[in-house]
């Protein structure tokens, strides 16, 4: 089974927790044992598994990527001005594949699924979620 | 279904767009809804999803990785002289798993699939492409 | 089929080769053609495909990540003192999906599967391994 999640983003760079939306799709999949692929359909966005105890790690992720991949110094900036967003997306990657164990995602206590916006705000961002049974 | 793509690379560092070759395999898979795994078989290579409007982003990717992971300063250089290539491959990662939606890859307009060469040129690089149905 | 691998880690940062343990599970899966997903259940750990000729590349990985993501300078350090571990885990990512070809993992000669510990030592780290047939 496959469904999409649609979200709006409100900042140029931001992490958005989509764990519950993904788990809801997994619940409907009737996959007991298998995998779920979570994929951001956008070349300036990504998926990251990260802690969500509070907002500190999300802030740290944005600051780290800003430091490693500064804006305004790339070839691609001559065209769109968003070279840094493409590079961040490429390094973090658009997808994660997570085990499904007894019908639930096999995330540890502190693992949450985040949509990473690197070129926002955007009215519509789409994430494809695909469940596959291992049987 | 599973097939391999074979390419030659012409530079020490370079990104090669393999989107059409992967889509051709997906077309032959008869998977309507599912996932496709694209995997570079080489410890100094990787797969990255990235824009392909022109060559600017590919150039930026190479320059970013050269800055973050300089050559010639690693333990492994004493053996092969390609420590940076292994590190780039490890950080970017050898594979991406992409949703298949209505028989086509669920890439957005600006998402293309690139084979990343970090230790070329090489006469033969092999990418394994595996389709899995979600049903 | 799905099984878990459990390991202890002995250093704060370290790479542990789990290739043989994963292959053993793949052997039991009876998947001839497909994929295997290897997923670290922990928000301060990751999976990286990397060379294992000797320990040089592992050492280089740890030193690279320490340089790019120093410890002690993050918002999250006010809570747990392990902000760098979360960031390393997020950038490397918790999982890799590897093709299964003729019943064996489609790794190249120099590709091994490493569990990356970024907040050790830990008595128990768990990796979920899920085989999926492409048929």
The answer, for B91 touching chain C at a CB cutoff of 8 Å, is: yes
Backbone angles phi, psi at C50, to 5 degrees: -160, 160
Of A35, A50, A93, the CB nearest to C132: A35
So what's the pLDDT on residue A54? 87
So what's the pLDDT on residue C58? 97
**Which pLDDT band, with edges at 50, 70 and 90, does A31 fall under?**
very high
Query: Please, how many CA atoms are within 13 Å of residue A105, restricted to the half-sphere of its CB?
Result: 29
**Which pLDDT band, with edges at 50, 70 and 90, does C54 fall under?**
confident
- Residues C105-133 have a mean pLDDT of 98
So what's the pLDDT on residue A33? 98
H or E stretch covering A59: helix A56-68
Q: Which of C41, C64, C118 to mutate to probe the A interface, most A CBs <10 Å?
A: C41
Of A51, A59, A60, the CB nearest to C43: A51
So what's the pLDDT on residue B54? 87
Q: Is the pLDDT of residue A27 over 90?
A: yes
The answer to whether the Cβ–Cβ distance between C90 and A93 falls below 8 Å is no
The answer, for B83 touching chain C at a CB cutoff of 8 Å, is: yes
**Tens-place pLDDT, residues B1-29:** 999 999 999 999 999 999 999 999 999 99
**Tens-place pLDDT, residues A80-125:** 999 999 999 999 999 999 999 999 999 999 999 999 999 999 999 9
So what's the pLDDT on residue B53? 87
Q: Which chains touch B (3 or more CB pairs under 8 A)?
A: A, C
Separation of alpha carbons C51 and C56, rounded Å: 9
**Which pLDDT band, with edges at 50, 70 and 90, does C68 fall under?**
very high
- Looking at CA atoms only, how far is residue A28 from chain B in angstroms? 13
- Residues A54-76 have a mean pLDDT of 97
Nearest alpha-carbon partner for C2 in A117, A20, A103: A103
Separation of alpha carbons A37 and B108, rounded Å: 16
| Contact call for residues B51 and B111 (beta carbons, < 8 A) | yes
DSSP secondary structure, chain C, as one string: -EEEEEE---SSSEEEE-HHHHHHHHHHHT-SEEEEEEEE-STTEEEEEE--SSSHHHHHHHHHHHHHS-SS-SGGGGTTS-HHHHHHHHHH-SEEEEEEETTEE---TT-EEEEEESS---S-EEEEEEEEE--
Write down the ipTM of this complex.
0.97
Around Cβ B19, how many Cβ atoms within 10 Å? Answer: 17
Residue A126 three-state SS: strand
**Which pLDDT band, with edges at 50, 70 and 90, does A28 fall under?**
very high
Mean pLDDT, chain C, as a whole number?
A: 97
Q: Is the pLDDT of residue C126 over 80?
A: yes
The answer, for C57 touching chain B at a CB cutoff of 8 Å, is: yes
Supply the pTM of this predicted model.
Answer: 0.98
Q: Is the pLDDT of residue B135 over 90?
A: no
Q: Is the pLDDT of residue A43 over 80?
A: yes
Nearest CA in chain A to C132: A134
The answer to whether the Cβ–Cβ distance between C61 and B89 falls below 8 Å is no
Of B2, B41, B132, the CB nearest to C132: B132
- Residues B101-128 have a mean pLDDT of 98
**Which pLDDT band, with edges at 50, 70 and 90, does C4 fall under?**
very high
H or E stretch covering B14: strand B14-17
Separation of alpha carbons A88 and A116, rounded Å: 9
The answer to whether the Cβ–Cβ distance between C50 and B79 falls below 8 Å is no
Separation of alpha carbons B83 and C92, rounded Å: 17
Which chain A residues contact residue B134 at CB under 8 A? 1-2, 130-133
The answer to whether the Cβ–Cβ distance between B39 and C106 falls below 8 Å is yes
Q: Is the pLDDT of residue C135 over 80?
A: no
- Residues C52-81 have a mean pLDDT of 96
**Tens-place pLDDT, residues A44-54:** 999 999 999 88
**Tens-place pLDDT, residues C12-44:** 999 999 999 999 999 999 999 999 999 999 999
């Amino acid at each position: 089974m496959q469904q999409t999640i649609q979200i709006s983003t409100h900042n140029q760079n931001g992490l958005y927790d989509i764990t519950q939306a993904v788990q809801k799709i997994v619940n409907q999949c009737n996959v007991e044992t298998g995998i779920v692929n979570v994929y951001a359909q956008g070349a300036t966005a990504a998926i990251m598994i990260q802690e969500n105890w509070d907002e500190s790690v999300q802030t740290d992720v944005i600051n780290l990527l800003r430091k490693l991949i500064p804006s305004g110094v790339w070839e691609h900036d001559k065209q769109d001005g968003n070279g840094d967003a493409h590079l961040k997306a490429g390094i973090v990657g658009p997808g994660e594949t997570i085990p499904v164990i007894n019908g639930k995602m096999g995330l540890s206590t502190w693992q949450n699924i985040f949509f990473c916006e690197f070129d926002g705000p955007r009215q519509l961002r789409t994430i494809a979620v695909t469940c596959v049974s291992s049987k």
